[in-house]
Amino acid sequence: MSTPSEPAESESTYVIDAENAAEMARLMNQALFLTKRMGGLFPERSDLANIHDVLDIACGPGGWVLDVARSYPSVQVIGIDISQIMVAYARALAATDQLTNARFRLMNALNSLDFPDHSFDLVNARLVAPFMPSAAWPALMQECQRILRPGGVIRLTEAEAAITNSPAFEKIIELGTGALKLAGQSFSPDGRHIGITPILGRFLRDAGYTHIQRVAYAIDSSAGTEANKEFCQDYMVAFKLVQPFLIKMGVMTQGEIDRLYQQIMTGMQLHDFCSILFLLTVWGEKPR
Ligand SMILES: C[S@@+](CC[C@H](N)C(=O)[O-])C[C@H]1O[C@@H](n2cnc3c(N)ncnc32)[C@H](O)[C@@H]1O
């Protein structure tokens, strides 16, 4: 049986192989992209007064954690992730930058979290939906509540799939959200969306958090925008790495994906390609 610090690979419900080096590189770039386009590490807060201990759930190769550690030297920040290569690389980056206030641990967020009660002032989770079975959210919200101090803050950021004017892009999104539905990782009644953003507030209310607030982001990644190149690179890599999941869920064959992939590449390079990415951050407090 696996312990919280020794996740077995077979347990992974992530839609991409978390031990893939290309995914690790993609997540480094994606973290930079998101933090920049959302306007910072904690764009909804003016300062980190009273925040001393921070946990980042599913930290990937540690982009957000390392930035927090660099920007707030008095804050202790821990990132957890199921992937051995992500955690190993994040530790190496922290050591290289001599960030003694950043630590990383191998942990499966679907099990009970290996931290004592009242350990953290803030728990952050950004883009965890790609591995969260729908039914697992309430338990994670309760675990976060247990490890937060009274008055501590939980902060969730999730995205829906980008909306574009490219038929091929829209097709793979339709197949991807349908596959998520089949995998039990969707809140959309018909699989047309990921459906996570409307539900985030309910998770916090149901778990007993108070002072729940939200802020939405719309990232325009159309041709000619500043965000376009990074957005296209991210999706081109993600669409490659997610193919085994689409095939496993039976929504496409490899031949169909290969043809669609070529059409997506062409479509994204058109001068009139338009795309918008919606994200939502929802946060709330553990009652004092
Ligand atoms: C989309 S990435 C998260 C990105 C990161 N939070 C950020 O904002 O840059 C998803 C991450 O979840 C990790 N993961 C997948 N299943 C997990 C699990 N059961 N427990 C913890 N981490 C998991 C993957 O290894 C991957 O690093």
Q: For 125-138, how does the pLDDT look when each residue is reduced to its tens digit (9 = 90+)? A: 999 999 999 999 99
Report yes or no on 196 lying in a domain.
yes
Confirm or reject: Cβ of 108 under 6 Å from ligand 1: yes
- Number of domains making up the chain: 1
- Comparing C-alpha atoms, which of 286, 237, 240 is closest to residue 120? 286
Residue 152 CA, ligand 1 centroid: distance in Å: 22
Q: Looking at residue 1, what is its pLDDT?
A: 34
CATH number at residue 42: 3.40.50.150
Q: How far is the CA of 287 from the centre of ligand 1 (A)?
A: 27
Domain range enclosing 107: 21-285
**Residue 56 has what pLDDT?**
98
Cα first-last separation, the chain: 36
Neighbour-count burial of 153, counting CB atoms closer than 10 A to its CB (0-12 exposed, 13-18 middle, 19+ buried): buried
Measured at the alpha carbon of residue 23, what is the angle toward residues 268 and 192, in degrees to the nearest 5?
55
Read off the DSSP letter of residue 2. -
| Most ligand 1 atoms within 8 A of CB, residue of 17, 127, 180 to mutate | 127
pLDDT per residue over 21-64, tens digit each?
999 999 999 999 999 999 999 999 988 999 999 999 999 999 99
**Which of the four pLDDT bands, split at 50, 70 and 90, describes residue 10?**
low
In a domain, 8, yes or no: no
> Mean pLDDT over all residues of the chain?
95
Amino acid at 273: F
% of the chain exceeding 70 in pLDDT: 96
* Residue 272 and residue 165 in contact, taking contact as beta carbons nearer than 8 Å: yes
The verdict on residue 130 lying in a domain is yes
Assigned domain for 3 exists: no
Residue 4 domain flag: no
Structure tokens at 249: 């869920």
Res. 9: pLDDT tops 50: no
Strands 163-164 and 148-159: unpaired
User: Residue 132, exposed/middle/buried by CB under 10 A (0-12, 13-18, 19+)?
Assistant: buried
Residue 56 Cα: closest atom of ligand 1:
6
* Structural domain contains residue 198: yes
Q: With respect to residue 90, please indicate whether it lies within any of the assigned structural domains.
A: yes
Q: 272 CA to middle of ligand 1, Å? A: 33
> What is the mean pLDDT of the segment spanning 65-70?
98
Asked if 160 and 129 touch (Cβ cutoff 8 Å), the reply is no
Q: Is residue 54 part of a domain?
A: yes
Task: Give CA–CA dist 134/126, Å, rounded.
Answer: 16
